[in-house]
Amino acid sequence: MRILFTIYCFFIASLAYSQITPEQYISTYSDLAVKEMKRTGVPASITLAQGMLESGNGNSYLATKGKNHFGIKCHKWTGDKIYKDDDAKDECFRKYKNVEQSFIDHSNFLKDNSRYHFLFDLEITDYKAWAKGLKKAGYATNPNYATSLINLIEKHELYNFDLGISKPKEDKPTKRPERTKAPVKDDFIVNPYFNAYNYNNNVPYIVVVDTIEIADLARQLDMMRWQLVKYNDLDKNSILYPGDNIYIKPKRNKAEKQYNVHVVEQNETVRDISEKYAVKSKKLLKFNNLTDIDQELKVGSEIKLRK
């Protein structure tokens, strides 16, 4: 019995010993973080802090089994996959051949997604603004995400790496380094609709400014084409024109309280009314015992907007 207990204690100790420490993580991956900063403009401090936080210093299941250090899910991913419970059960995450691929994909993920493009207008040494911006853009659902990143950066002095230092200093600096703005290569597509959203029935929408295919607009908005198709009752090959209103979130199940019915005007269809009040077309069909969203309605008839 004593032998078994000794073996068990040795096993537990070996597991603890095999865990990567924060210092080891920083020493191992700081060169890679600096390299990616110089390639894409993502601050090395942010990359390291996110990697430490998302992967538990490289000890998490996703990191050890999938080499995924940043918790990036399978959205728009055609490579290998790994599955793990997260916000929902058995969610799909990206799987890489090595950790370097994970770091490269993380940089590209931020650089190529228009929702993060405003971050690259910040100083590369302004890690606090970057951390808060990542939270604002929805990188993580944790309400304390920005604070956690900032705490890691300051605790381990990761801001030194934003100045191009590829290894941690042996001695603690007597004062925090001055912030200097480094040049950032900025050749990605900028979302022309950033901060240009309008709201109808509390549903955000944009007004199209140029003739464009729906697939191209989806790419500009960092959305899937099927989302725009579904939210707007459109065809997957639709051409959009200046002045068109395009909802970027699902419409509501009913109209605002002040709107109970709509009196049909000339040439109006359920599709038109759905767009006008930001109410799902299938709900309008159900409320009014109709079957076709493109059927021309009788002028003067009333269409119920709420159940």
Residue 94: burial class (beta carbons within 10 Å; 0-12, 13-18, 19+) = buried
How far is CA 142 from each of CA 54, 116, 135, 148, 182, rounded to the nearest angstrom? 11, 17, 8, 10, 30
Q: Model pTM greater than 0.85?
A: no
Domain 198-247 in CATH 3.10.350.10: yes
**Alpha-carbon 112 to chain mean position:** 11
Backbone angles phi, psi at 108, to 5 degrees: -65, -40
Domain ranges of the chain: 2-163, 198-247, 261-304
The CA-CA-CA angle for residues 94, 22, 155, to 5°, reads 115
Q: For residues 158 and 26, what is the distance between their CA atoms, to the nearest angstrom?
A: 9
User: Would you give per-residue pLDDT tens digits along the chain (307 residues)?
Assistant: 455 444 444 444 444 446 889 999 999 999 999 999 888 889 999 999 999 999 999 999 999 999 999 988 888 788 999 998 776 777 899 999 999 999 999 999 998 888 888 888 888 889 999 999 999 888 888 889 999 999 999 999 999 998 865 554 444 433 434 443 334 333 333 455 555 678 899 888 989 888 999 988 888 877 778 888 888 999 989 999 989 999 988 899 999 999 999 999 999 999 999 999 999 999 999 999 999 999 889 999 999 999 8
Beta carbons of 278 and 203 less than 8 angstroms apart: yes
Topology agreement, domain 2-163 and domain 261-304:
no
Which H helix or E strand runs over 295? Answer: none
Q: For residues 148 and 158, what is the distance between their CA atoms, to the nearest angstrom?
A: 13
Closest CA to 59 of 86, 99, 31: 99
Q: What CATH class does 261-304 carry?
A: alpha beta
The CA-CA-CA angle for residues 110, 116, 121, to 5°, reads 105
2-163 topology per CATH? Lysozyme (1.10.530)
Beta carbons of 198 and 208 less than 8 angstroms apart: no
Q: For residues 141 and 117, what is the distance between their CA atoms, to the nearest angstrom?
A: 19
